[in-house]
Amino acid sequence: MSTIGIGQAAVLGIVEGVTEFLPVSSTGHLKITEGLMGIPVGDKAVVAFTAVIQVGAIAAVLVYFSKDIARILKAWGRGLADREERYHHDYKFAWWVIYATIPIVVVGLAAKPLIESTLASLWVVAGSLIVGSGLMWAADQMGRHKRGEDDTGLKDAMLVGCSQILALLFPGFSRSGATISTGLILDLERVAATRLSFFLGIPALTGAGLYELKDAVGAGVDLLPLAVGTVVSFAVAYASIAWLLKFVAKHSFNAFVIYRIAVGVLLFGLLGTGVLAA
């Protein structure tokens, strides 16, 4: 029998779409939602399901940034064929995304058993939400917000890409929160840091979703709930991306910091009183 029903899949798709690119931890919110709905958080089918519906959110990024992605891929293709084209920033950026994805792939494969067991605890999620909030606040305060997207280099991409490992090992930390915070520490503008977070998330999250697909189906999750969760996450994520880029252009990340701390404290309370099981 399927571990997740269609209605539950739709709810999880909404949660995934809203939180995947906001710096609030999609993994943390999904685990909290699963716990409240009585879905076994540590079940292999559930872990695989949440990874697969991320593909819907990634598809939203592909559609939203389709013109940028097409421009970068064209520059990359021209650079492969013509040496003179390799000085173009877009050509270099394409390689930077590839290089910056390697660390999280290596760590993800090596630490997969640990990630799906001990580190999947809601206690870890609660602690990571609060600790990650401190990092985000400090990064936003110390960053000078003076460098634009065209000022990024290989060092920026590698540091931001490696920061994704924090969210991989500590669900609740937030992939977007870690990457955006790193970008801010590197003095990137808020919009530039956010856009870089989006682009670096495309190969990592797409690869994770495709890798987990076979496990999701093999573990007992029906294709229909998977499809529903993925489609819903796509639609909601597209709206979330548009909103976030407009928001960070005029506001700091303080609202997200306060929200994350509140959720982390609430989660500690629910776990401590036995309302939720870790």
What pLDDT, in 10s, does the model give residues 183-200? 999 999 999 999 999 999
Does pLDDT of 7 surpass 80?
Answer: yes
| Interatomic CA distance for residues 125 and 32, integer angstroms | 9
pLDDT at 35: 82
Give yes or no for a contact between 32 and 123, defined as CB atoms under 8 angstroms apart.
Answer: no
∠ CA 35-20-244, rounded to 5° = 130
pLDDT at 1 (0 to 100): 40
Burial of 142 (0-12, 13-18, 19+ CB in 10 A): exposed
Angle at 252 between CA 167 and CA 99, to 5 degrees: 40
Supply the DSSP symbol for 188. B
Residue with tokens 């401590």: 272
Please give the pLDDT value at position 220.
64
Q: Which residues of 82-116 are buried (b: 16+ CB within 10 A; e: fewer)?
A: eeebeebebbbbbebbeebbebbeebbeeeeeebe
pLDDT of residue 106: 93
User: Where does the pLDDT of residue 219 fall: very low under 50, low under 70, confident under 90, or very high at 90 and above?
Assistant: low
The pLDDT confidence band at residue 74, using thresholds 50, 70 and 90, is very high
Q: What is the pLDDT of residue 215?
A: 67
Query: Which positions ≥6 away from 24 have C-beta within 8 Å?
Result: 129, 174, 177, 256, 259, 260, 263
User: Which percentage of the chain shows pLDDT scores above 90?
Assistant: 62
* Across 39-57, average pLDDT: 81
Token pair, residue 269, equals: 């309370």
In whole angstroms, give the CA distance from residue 248 to residue 234.
Answer: 21
Inform me whether the pLDDT recorded for 134 exceeds 90: yes
Indicate whether 63 pLDDT > 70. yes
Q: How high does pLDDT run on average in the chain?
A: 90
